[in-house]
A and B are shown apart, each in its own frame.
Chain A
Amino acid sequence: MNQIIIETDNLTKKFGSNIAVDNISLSIKRGEVFGLLGPNGAGKTTLLSMLCTILKPTSGTARINGYDIIRDNSRVRKSIGIVFQDPSVDTDMTARENLQMHADLYGVPVSEQKERIKDVLNLVGLSDKAEDFLNTYSGGMRRRLEIARGLLHYPRVLFLDEPTIGLDPRSREHIWDYIRMLRKREDMTVILTTHYMEEADRLCDRIAIIDRGKIIILDKPDVLKGGIGKDTVILITDEPDKLQTILTGENISGDIRISGREVKVEVSHANLLLPKIMESAIKAGIRIESVTISNPDMNDVFIHYTGKNLSDDETRERTGRVAMMKRRRAR
């Protein structure tokens, strides 16, 4: 069933002379997990806000679940669930009360409310904390409750705006698990904005990279990564200069760099060329201490298409995790 659930039509939002979202037209299929990737201020949240009927487009429109976001916003709202970037729960109320309010606001039939609240609490593992006030919840627990809340009225589309921002790695893994589970369990479409490259890579069926209000490229993560097509082989040795000379001589790659004891070799297919590299090194009597293959990740894709890296604080955190990931891949 390749039904289109979201279709935007030259959607544009201007704030004064600043164009936050610039003529975006895209369609998203039912059941997809769709990622909007971009640096801060790229227009992700503005695009999302328009789809959620919080912001009126300057021009253009969109249809969600067959309803127009401008003319039919009440029906659109019933069709979607939203987890905002900033917390939006009432911390002076218990988890159950927050869910109860949501069920009432979205017109969930009274006879079903109790059962559904029980279900969603179960789903996010908060059943035993249902009667606790939310000011006793941790950030991760609140976010989980918000996801539960967003599911309560059986939306066709779930919008997650930076669902894992500011969460510790464990809570982040938790939330990823829920998103994957949701996708399997019902044919719900999930739209996710994030600036965590790894998150987008691991969760999304398709990714749109947005910069300055425009979609720069839109495709499956693998295609995106394959599209820039370069692997890096990192060799650690005591004789990096010698290794560089030899590999250059063998015409293995035109891009061989040295940093400290590391030799970085850019190749198109690392798995095919690695044996040759090793052979040449052994022949020349160079002892290789360790080898790491790194495939391009979403960050490389991102830099490739936007020419930008992420802002400093995000980069610091990212490099830590990406390094870890690369190590995992290298095994």
Chain B
Amino acid sequence: MSEIRGIYTLWLREVKKFLREKPRLINAFCQPLIWLFIFGTGMRFSAGIPGINYQEFIFPGLITQAMLFTAMFMGISVIWDREFGFMKEILVSPISRPSIFLGKMIGVSTDVMIQGIIIFPFALLIGIPLNFFMVIKALPIMLLVTFGLVCIGLIFASLMKSFEGFGLIQTFINLPMFFLSGALFPLSQVPEWLQVVSYANPLTYGVDALRTVMMGESWVQLFPMELDLAVLIGFDILMFAIGTAAFSRIE
């Protein structure tokens, strides 16, 4: 019982901090807008994909991207906690390490879901035919994507001693995962090596599943929905296990 209370308080802290930081919220709102309007419009008219509205095509990809970046950034906040000492307060409390991990994980995941959901209204702005059922179907998929990503962020944070490594994560995790997920271009027309690498990226399955529920007829699925979900669930379980182990080792 007291463990649950502890998890709850860690969750509440993450969400409060996320919602309080106004610049981050403004950024969360505006960045996808820039991608959609400028990048999306430019690509649509210069390198369009036949038979597909490019903005409609990248929309699920941008949701994924926003979630990916938020997951990494908020996960890394563990390093802040360590730097400013609050981590110590958590670590010496009677609550167990797996519970600390769970509390952080659920908290950051909530932030990431908020970030993802913020973007939906833009779909209507740029004329994507999005309906209520699509959103309802998209949410569980987003949640599956979120859990795994947040775990990755927390794992890195538990291994890193300072903020200096954050640039490395940006370059070697965020960008490759984003570019290799098929978020910006269809993977059906790329060279084989790129396809192989992308298929090794769990985000590819998340993007594919989101497009399947949000684009309807105009999207030709890369994989069957069952496979997408199975890969995402497997990814979540694996990352959760590694994350729990990583947190248990923090001193």
Contacts and interface: CB of A to CB of B under 8 A. Distances in A.
A89 B251 CA distance: 18
Contacts of B86: 88-90
Nearest to A86: B85
Interface string B154-172: 0000000000000000000
Interface residues of A, number: 28
A149 B93 CA distance: 12
Contact of B6 (A92, A93, A104): A104
Q: Closest 10 interchain pairs by CB?
A: A107-B2, A104-B9, A88-B85, A105-B93, A77-B94, A88-B89, A90-B86, A88-B88, A74-B94, A104-B5
Contacts of B93: 77, 102, 105-106
A284 interface: no
Contact of B13 (A52, A86, A90, A106): A90
Given A77-B94, A105-B94, A110 B85 contact: no
B23 to A, nearest CB: 13
A93 B89 CA distance: 14
A120 to B, nearest CB: 15
A106 B88 contact: no
Contacts of A84: 85, 88
Interface size class of B (residues with CB under 8 A): 20 to 34
B88 A107 contact: no
Given A89-B89, A100-B9, 17 more contacts: A74-B96, A82-B92, A84-B85, A84-B88, A86-B85, A86-B88, A90-B89, A92-B20, A93-B16, A97-B13, A97-B16, A101-B9, A105-B5, A105-B89, A106-B2, A107-B1, A110-B5
Which of B2, B10, B20 lies at the interface centre, i.e. has the most chain A CB atoms within 10 A of its CB? B2
Which of B5, B8, B17 lies at the interface centre, i.e. has the most chain A CB atoms within 10 A of its CB? B5
A323 interface: no
A89 B85 contact: yes
30 contacts: A54-B91, A54-B251, A74-B96, A77-B92, A78-B94, A82-B92, A84-B85, A84-B88, A86-B88, A89-B85, A89-B86, A90-B13, A90-B86, A91-B84, A92-B17, A93-B16, A93-B17, A100-B9, A101-B10, A102-B89, A105-B6, A105-B9, A105-B10, A106-B2, A106-B93, A106-B94, A107-B2, A107-B6, A110-B5, A149-B89
Interface in B173-200: none
Interface in B133-151: none
A54 B94 CA distance: 11
Nearest to A146: B89
B30 to A, nearest CB: 22
B84 A104 contact: no
B5 to A, nearest CB: 5
Interface of A: 52-55, 74-75, 77-78, 82, 84, 86-93, 97, 100-102, 104-107, 110, 149
Interface string B71-110: 0000000000100111011111111100000000000000
Interface of B: 1-2, 5-6, 8-10, 13, 16-17, 20, 81, 84-86, 88-96, 251
Nearest to A100: B9
Contacts of A88: 85-86, 88-89
A93 B16 CA distance: 9
A107 B8 CA distance: 12
B13 A101 contact: yes
Which of A91, A93, A101 lies at the interface centre, i.e. has the most chain B CB atoms within 10 A of its CB? A101
Contact of A53 (B16, B90, B92): B92
Contacts of A110: 5
Contacts of B88: 54, 84, 86, 88
Contacts of B84: 87, 90-91
A55 B251 contact: yes
B90 A105 contact: yes
Contacts of B90: 105
Contacts of B94: 74-75, 77-78, 105-107
Which of A74, A97, A100, A104 lies at the interface centre, i.e. has the most chain B CB atoms within 10 A of its CB? A104
Nearest to B103: A105
A54 B92 contact: yes
Contacts of A75: 94
A66 to B, nearest CB: 16
Contacts of A78: 94
A100 B251 CA distance: 24
Contacts of B251: 54-55
Contacts of A89: 85-86, 89
